[in-house]
Structures are given as structure tokens and as C-alpha cells.
């Protein structure tokens, strides 16, 4: 039985030259992606080893912490690795006359370097994966080096917890063993009569796991005791409604005691989804989250620039074909310095409110994309 498809999928056939170019690109890419972080780790370890040992950290813990440091460095080095791989691969093809032979046989420069653009797409995927792995590894590294305390207690005092839906909890004490909260206040800021501000205060609250009652599943819930529920529809006292209660089952407080016990993470320890939720909570509470919004956008912008770097590096490599490897190293280092500087400026500009955070984070990509388009348009094909 044969199946006929109404649409024909374009076929991209890999030639011998394509396989050779991709193989060389991957070789340089992996050497740079693994070699640069190792160099950074050696320099950092040499500088801080005495400090770590002086704090009583075991050598095995120090070594393991640098293993967890590796994903973060690889994420930062990724655009550099793509640039070095593209410049050196295309430069070698030009110096060894493969490009000249291809042009003589009717194959354009764009067709020769097209497999390298596809290879850069794998770097984009690797960057997205590293962006999710690096925060978890960073958190573990801080614990190993004693820079972040590992919570092993069963209580917590005088803390604020930002929940979903714009709710903010202020709690004096949490006891995990008794699953009890003391002197708590739950608040959700409103906008007016249609969406009033709600303030719920209670002396204590107890957590129940629920269970089955007469073949019905009873959900887990918190029971608040001796408190007041207030609705504030506006700023005038006449627009306030208050209710006193002896006990109340809360549908707002849905977190388990162990969730409330968890220490809040630093932004660099959060993955993309966690950081986005944290930013939403800050915005709802009226805090300035522009700096974190830039960091969130960079988690996508940095991997995506790998595609643009490949488009930029290919014509850059043949702009001075007779200069050899020295030109490739110099051009790559200079471009790397400029790109990293642009990302640092983007953070400052976005955090300061000069540009919207998302636009500030993507500005280096836009500039590199424009430069890549110009070089590709003027490259001899």
C-alpha cells in the first residue's frame, strides 16, 4: 500500500563537504565549550582554595562544588563557543580552498555554510537546557560551599510568604511538628469595590490532611481560629466590612506546612518558570521587578543569540582570508568582548527603566542580527 502526500517536504541532502564542515564545527565547538570553563575553574580554584580550606570545607566538597559550577559557566560560554566554531571552520575552508572549489562548481557561499547554521540550532537547544540545569546546580554548589544554609529545623519565625493570586502571608511562627501557625495575616490588595482588598487575621491556624469520610475524599485544609475577616472596598472607613469568627476553613491558604518552611530562593537559583512566578508576585505587591524581568528575558535571549552569532561569524571569517588563525582568534575575542559588554549594558539599561526589560535584554540580539545581515549581504558568494 502506498501513501501519497499532497505536500512535498523539502529535502536537504548532506554532501561530503557538508559533513566535513559540520564535523569541524562540532569539534571546535566542543573544545571551546568544555575548555574555557575548565580554564575558568582552574583559575578560580587557585585563587580561592586556601579560603575554602580555611573555612573547614573538605576537599571532596570543594571538588564537587566545581562540578556543579560547570553548567553555569557553559551557559555563559555558549555564544563564544558558537562564534569560535563558526569563524575557525569557515576560515579553514577558505584557507584550504574548499570555498574556492565550491564556488567554481556553482555552489554559493550561503549553501556551503548552511549546515553550520543548522548546527548552531543545536547550540540554541543546549542553551535552553543549560538555562534550566544551571540554577539547580548553583543552589547545590552554594550549599556545598556553606554560602547557603541547609534548613533542617522544624520551625520558622517572623517571615513573609508571597503566594499565588496576589496573596501575601505575614506569619509570626510556624511549627512543623504540630502543623500550626501563630499570629498570621493574609492580605490581597484590591483595586476597588469590584475587586476589594481582603485582610484575614487570626491568632492561630491548624493544618488537616483530610482523608476519606463516608467514601468521600475530604481535601486538606487550614482551619483558622479566633480572627477577623475584613473587606476594604476603598480608602474611606464607611467602605470597610469586618466579620469576626471563632473558626474558619480557608480556601486561600492552600500551601502545606513544609512549603511554608522552605527558604525562598535567590533569583539566580530559579528556573524559568519559578523566576516568572516570583516576578509576578513582586509586581502584584507593587515592588520593582525590572532587573529580574531582564534576567528572565536573558534566559531565552542568550541561547537565541547563538543562531545570530553563526550568521555573523561565517562572513566575518572570510573578510580577511589571508590573515590565518591569528585573525580568527583576534576577531572572535573582540566580538566576544563586545557581545558580553552589550549584555551587561542591557542589564543596567533594563533595570534602570531606560528601555522596557524585554527590549533591553533582546537589544544585543537585534544589533548582532543587523550586523549579520549586513555582512551576509556583502559576502562574496
Q: Which stretches in the chain have pLDDT values below 70?
A: 1-14, 94-110, 148-153, 210-217, 234-238, 262-267, 281-282, 284-287, 319-329, 380-381
Residue 231's CB: how many other CB atoms inside 10 A?
Answer: 15
Strands 211-213 and 167-175: unpaired
Q: In angstroms, rounded to a whole number, what is the distance separating the alpha carbons of residues 200 and 188?
A: 9
Point out which residues pair with 248 in neighbouring strands.
Answer: 224
In whole angstroms, what separates CA 310 from the centre of its chain? Answer: 22
Is the Cβ–Cβ distance between 74 and 39 less than 8 Å? no
Nearest 5°: phi and psi at 201?
-120, 140
* pLDDT of the residue at 203: 94
Q: In angstroms, rounded to a whole number, what is the distance separating the alpha carbons of residues 30 and 22?
A: 12
Q: Give whole-number Cα distances, 149 to 128, 269, 338, in Å.
A: 28, 14, 37
DSSP string, 290-313: HHHHHHHHHHHHHHHHHHHHHHHH
In whole angstroms, what separates CA 309 from the centre of its chain? Answer: 20
Is the Cβ–Cβ distance between 232 and 197 less than 8 Å? yes
**Torsion of the alpha carbons at 134, 135, 138 and 139, rounded to the nearest 10:** -150
* pLDDT of the residue at 247: 92
- At residue 34's C-alpha, the angle toward residues 78 and 128, to 5°, is 35
C-alpha cell at 197: 482588598
Per-residue pLDDT tens for 34-57? 988 898 888 888 888 888 888 888
* pLDDT of the residue at 6: 45
* pLDDT of the residue at 240: 80
* pLDDT of the residue at 10: 46
Q: In angstroms, rounded to a whole number, what is the distance separating the alpha carbons of residues 318 and 286?
A: 52
C-alpha cell at 360: 533591553
Among left, alpha and beta (phi > 0; psi -120 to 50; other), residue 265 is beta
Give strand ranges (E) for 189-252: 197-208, 211-213, 216-218, 221-232, 240-250
* pLDDT of the residue at 3: 42
* pLDDT of the residue at 9: 39
Per-residue pLDDT tens for 65-76? 888 998 988 998
Q: Give whole-number Cα distances, 346 to 11, 106, 235, in Å.
A: 40, 43, 40
* pLDDT of the residue at 49: 83
C-alpha cell at 352: 534602570
* pLDDT of the residue at 217: 58
* pLDDT of the residue at 1: 45
Amino acid at each position: 500500500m502506498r501513501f501519497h502526500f499532497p505536500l512535498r517536504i523539502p529535502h536537504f541532502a548532506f554532501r561530503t563537504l557538508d559533513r566535513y564542515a559540520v564535523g569541524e564545527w562540532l569539534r571546535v565547538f566542543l573544545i571551546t565549550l568544555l575548555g574555557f570553563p575548565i580554564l575558568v575553574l582552574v583559575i578560580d580554584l587557585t585563587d580561592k582554595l586556601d579560603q575554602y580550606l580555611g573555612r573547614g570545607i573538605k576537599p571532596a566538597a570543594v571538588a564537587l562544588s566545581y562540578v556543579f559550577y560547570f553548567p553555569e559557566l557553559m551557559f555563559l560560554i555558549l555564544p563564544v563557543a558558537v562564534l569560535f566554531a563558526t569563524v575557525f571552520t569557515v576560515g579553514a575552508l577558505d584557507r584550504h580552498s574548499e570555498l574556492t572549489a565550491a564556488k567554481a562548481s556553482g555552489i554559493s557561499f550561503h549553501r556551503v555554510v548552511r549546515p553550520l547554521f543548522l548546527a548552531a540550532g543545536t547550540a540554541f537547544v543546549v542553551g535552553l537546557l543549560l538555562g534550566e540545569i544551571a540554577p539547580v546546580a548553583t543552589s547545590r554548589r552554594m550549599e556545598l560551599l556553606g554560602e547557603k544554609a541547609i534548613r533542617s529545623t522544624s520551625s520558622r519565625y517572623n517571615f513573609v510568604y508571597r503566594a499565588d493570586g496576589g496573596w501575601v502571608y505575614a506569619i509570626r511562627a510556624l511549627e512543623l511538628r504540630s502543623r500550626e501557625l501563630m499570629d498570621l495575616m493574609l492580605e490581597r490588595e484590591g483595586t476597588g469595590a469590584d475587586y476589594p482588598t481582603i485582610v484575614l487575621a487570626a491568632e492561630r491556624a491548624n493544618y488537616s490532611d483530610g482523608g476519606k469520610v463516608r467514601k468521600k475524599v475530604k481535601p486538606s485544609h487550614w482551619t483558622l481560629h479566633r480572627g477577623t475577616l475584613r473587606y476594604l472596598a476603598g480608602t474611606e472607613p464607611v467602605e470597610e466590612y469586618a466579620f469576626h469568627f471563632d473558626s474558619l476553613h480557608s480556601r486561600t491558604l492552600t500551601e502545606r506546612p513544609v512549603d511554608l518552611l522552605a527558604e525562598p530562593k535567590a533569583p539566580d537559583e530559579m528556573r524559568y518558570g519559578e523566576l516568572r512566578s516570583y516576578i509576578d508576585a513582586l509586581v502584584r505587591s507593587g515592588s520593582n521587578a525590572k532587573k529580574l524581568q531582564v534576567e528572565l528575558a536573558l534566559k531565552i535571549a542568550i541561547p537565541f543569540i547563538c543562531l545570530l552569532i553563526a550568521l555573523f561569524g561565517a562572513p566575518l571569517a572570510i573578510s580577511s582570508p589571508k590573515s590565518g588563525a591569528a585573525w580568527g582568534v583576534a576577531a572572535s575575542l573582540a566580538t566576544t568582548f563586545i557581545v558580553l559588554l552589550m549584555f551587561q549594558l542591557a542589564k543596567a539599561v533594563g533595570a534602570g527603566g531606560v528601555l522596557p526589560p524585554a527590549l533591553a535584554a533582546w537589544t544585543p540580539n537585534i544589533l548582532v542580527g543587523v550586523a549579520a545581515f549586513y555582512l551576509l549581504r556583502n559576502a562574496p558568494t
